A and B are shown apart, each in its own frame.
Chain A
Amino acid sequence: MKQMVETDDRSIAENDQGLSIATDTNVAEPKSISRVILAFRYVRRNPSLTGGSLMLLILLLFVVIGGLLIDPDNARPMANRPRLAPSAEHLLGTDRQGKDVLTVMVIGTPQTIRIGLIAGGIGVAVGTILAFFSVYYGGIVDILVSSVVDILRTVPGLLVLVIIAISVPGDMTVDMMALIVAALSWLNPARILRSQVLVMKQKPYVEMARFTGMSGPEIIIKEMIPNLMPYLISTFVLAVAGAILASIGLEALGLGAFESNTLGMTIYWNIHYGSLLNGWWWWLLPPILMIVFLFVALFLVSLGLDEWANPRLRRKL
């Protein structure tokens, strides 16, 4: 905005600075602070992210250290005497089938997480592709994709997965479960990422990239995806949580991988053998608590990531 006022030279000179002319207005300038301190400050400001990450770390330690300490054979049926209460030898006792519960937990937790990671990963990948596809072509394509996604999201997903699961020939495996759950895991990511991509499309730096002659895919990879990162990660975390949820649901209904020791299968066996009726609390509690722990952790992390991506959410609870 050019200002053409005939004033004396002093005013013009001050104008060229383009800054607030009253130079004695000093707003405190950030001194160079070490990265570590900045990180700590952020940690304090975003308790969800730190809390959640910490919990996941604990889980990781449990699995890794546990993995080193246990003997996988203890998780075979009839490896031990069944229905033993916790003792020094079996810290969490044994279940109805004679499996050492602690071993089952150490082996089963990563199995469940694996389902989540695979299905969540596929879900985010497919969702991202769909999001870009839909926004790039716009118009009728966008409407079609959005409608399909919205309609499918309203259907009770678990039931759809049931139909798919019973259609699978042969015995179920952990990886098979992951693929089945993946059939629906792309729905939420597609919706969330589509709205983010839409917002990004209007942003100036995208326009600039176009002007400088970058091709479509180049823009997507070099400009958009880096900026989409926080949302991608957050969506991934949510997708993992959702996939685990779905897999446990399927397993609890009796459609799981019977040979595996996933958390959901343990729940299934608990129900099947009526552990509560029989008072085998040491078999029922660990998977429940583990699942709750896992979910709360994932939930907190996704909350923290949301705050990171959208600072405006940083408000009191």
Chain B
Amino acid sequence: MTLEYFIRRVIQFFVIVFLAVTLNFFFPRMSGQDPIREKLLQLEAQGVSITGEGVEEFIASYNTKFGLDKPILEQYLTYLGQMARLDLGQSIAYFPQQVSSLVLSAVPWSIGLLLTATLMSFTIGTLVGALIGWGNAPRFLQFIFPAFFVFSAVPFYLMGLLLLYVFAFQFKLLPLFGGYSTSTLPSPTIDFYMEVFKHSILPALSIVLAQTGYWALGMRSMMVTIEGEDYILQAEAKGLKKGRIFFQYAMRNAILPQITALAMSLGTIISGAILVEVIFAYPGVGSVLVRAILGFDWFVIQGVVFLIILTVAFSMLIIDLIYPLLDPRISYRGD
């Protein structure tokens, strides 16, 4: 792979991260709001009494602690430095807990859910789409396909709500919310893992049902396009077996834009997944975010947003770097 390709992708990664950091820094401050004051005022409104010395001094001391009284530029540079070290500050609501630890405890749940659900939809969708596009699909697939197609128009979380309603409420088959039932304590036992699994079925299913159609659609149109390509005709003229033509000639070419599409849609997928977590009260990053929003916990909000953007950018980078391994034209062309 050429150096130029590699460098461009890495630069792109840093640009995205930089934009995220800057966004995180400037927007909230642009509004002139003071997060500490907001939080304290809110606490006060909820009837929590603030320590006696007078709210203003309290606010001031916290501002110093959080560095909010320094000039903007200095704050920005400090912020950049902190971000680089992945020091996301401390939560206001759960002070003095570090934002990073708060988020990190939720990350495994999110990754587990997202990774499995996305991988499943991508694989199933791509295969189904390829079969349908190639014209070789078994009957039943051709029937389900339009349904999936329509599903892909519905956002994940709505799918989730519908599923919740049908399976958890109406038929009481699966749990309503959470990562595990409220009476269980997390422990590395089989029972616990079963709980986790049961609780993750619906959230995962909503993502899968809503996403698969999208991948199938893309793959299908790619396969239809490729079917008309000259090298497919030549492959048939060579008397190759149908299976070989399907996999090595058609799919191997069609999968390339699919993978690009995957990289490009990571952001959307994650946005959707977050909302799914919210719907199902799944203990992932989404729930952390919602709690933080509810509690005006600004640093947590910013921390979550930053981390997620960082993850997306990083995943995109990985996919971009893997891509030349699949498409020999890229390594040499140097994109």
How close is A262's CB to chain B, nearest CB, in angstroms? 15
Are the CB atoms of A155 and B19 closer together than 8 Å?
Answer: yes
Contact with B along A266-280 (1 / 0, CB 8 A): 010001000011010
How close is B69's CB to chain A, nearest CB, in angstroms? 19
Q: Does A54 contact B (CB under 8 A)?
A: no
Are the CB atoms of B312 and A295 closer together than 8 Å?
Answer: no
CB nearest to A246 among chain B residues: B271
User: Which of chain B's residues have a CB closer than 8 A to the CB of A106?
Assistant: none
Are the CB atoms of B316 and A154 closer together than 8 Å?
Answer: yes
Centre residue among A281, A284, A292 by max chain B CB count within 10 A:
A292
How close is A285's CB to chain B, nearest CB, in angstroms? 7
Q: Does A299 contact B (CB under 8 A)?
A: yes
User: Which of chain A's residues have a CB closer than 8 A to the CB of B298?
Assistant: 166
How far apart sit A158 and B157, CA to CA, in the bound complex (Å)?
A: 13
Contact (A156, B271) CB under 8 Å given A163-B27, A163-B305: yes
Taking a contact as CB atoms closer than 8 A, the residue among B23, B29, B279 that contacts A271 in the complex is B279
Are the CB atoms of B301 and A248 closer together than 8 Å?
Answer: no
Are the CB atoms of A285 and B32 closer together than 8 Å?
Answer: no
A-B pairs under 8 A by CB, number:
129
Taking a contact as CB atoms closer than 8 A, the residue among A162, A284, A317 that contacts B165 in the complex is A284
User: Which of chain A's residues have a CB closer than 8 A to the CB of B23?
Assistant: 160, 163
The size bracket of the interface on A is 35 or more
How far apart sit A285 and B161, CA to CA, in the bound complex (Å)?
A: 9
How close is A55's CB to chain B, nearest CB, in angstroms? 12
Q: Does A102 contact B (CB under 8 A)?
A: no
How far apart sit A277 and B165, CA to CA, in the bound complex (Å)?
A: 10
Taking a contact as CB atoms closer than 8 A, the residue among A157, A163, A279 that contacts B271 in the complex is A157
How close is A256's CB to chain B, nearest CB, in angstroms? 11
Q: Does A291 contact B (CB under 8 A)?
A: yes
Are the CB atoms of A288 and B176 closer together than 8 Å?
Answer: no
How far apart sit A157 and B16, CA to CA, in the bound complex (Å)?
A: 13
Taking a contact as CB atoms closer than 8 A, the residue among B27, B30, B176 that contacts A276 in the complex is B176
Contact (A296, B30) CB under 8 Å given A156-B268, A157-B271, A253-B289: no
In chain B, positions 259-281 with a C-beta closer than 8 Å to chain A are 263-264, 266-268, 270-271, 274-275, 278-279
Q: Does B127 contact A (CB under 8 A)?
A: no
Are the CB atoms of A296 and B150 closer together than 8 Å?
Answer: yes
Contact (A162, B301) CB under 8 Å given A157-B267, A157-B268, A276-B165: yes
Q: Does B153 contact A (CB under 8 A)?
A: yes
Are the CB atoms of B31 and A296 closer together than 8 Å?
Answer: no
Are the CB atoms of B301 and A154 closer together than 8 Å?
Answer: no
How far apart sit A296 and B151, CA to CA, in the bound complex (Å)?
A: 8
Contact with B along A219-238 (1 / 0, CB 8 A): 00000000000000000000
User: Which of chain B's residues have a CB closer than 8 A to the CB of A245?
Assistant: 155
User: Which of chain A's residues have a CB closer than 8 A to the CB of B275?
Assistant: 158, 249, 252-253
17 further contact pairs, Cβ within 8 A, besides A292-B162, A315-B224: A154-B16, A155-B313, A156-B271, A156-B308, A158-B271, A159-B305, A159-B308, A166-B293, A167-B27, A167-B30, A249-B271, A254-B293, A255-B293, A276-B169, A285-B165, A291-B155, A291-B158
9 nearest CB pairs, A to B = A158-B271, A299-B153, A156-B267, A167-B31, A167-B27, A159-B305, A156-B271, A167-B28, A169-B31
11 contacts between A and B (CB under 8 A): A151-B16, A154-B263, A155-B16, A158-B271, A163-B27, A166-B298, A292-B158, A292-B162, A299-B150, A299-B153, A317-B146
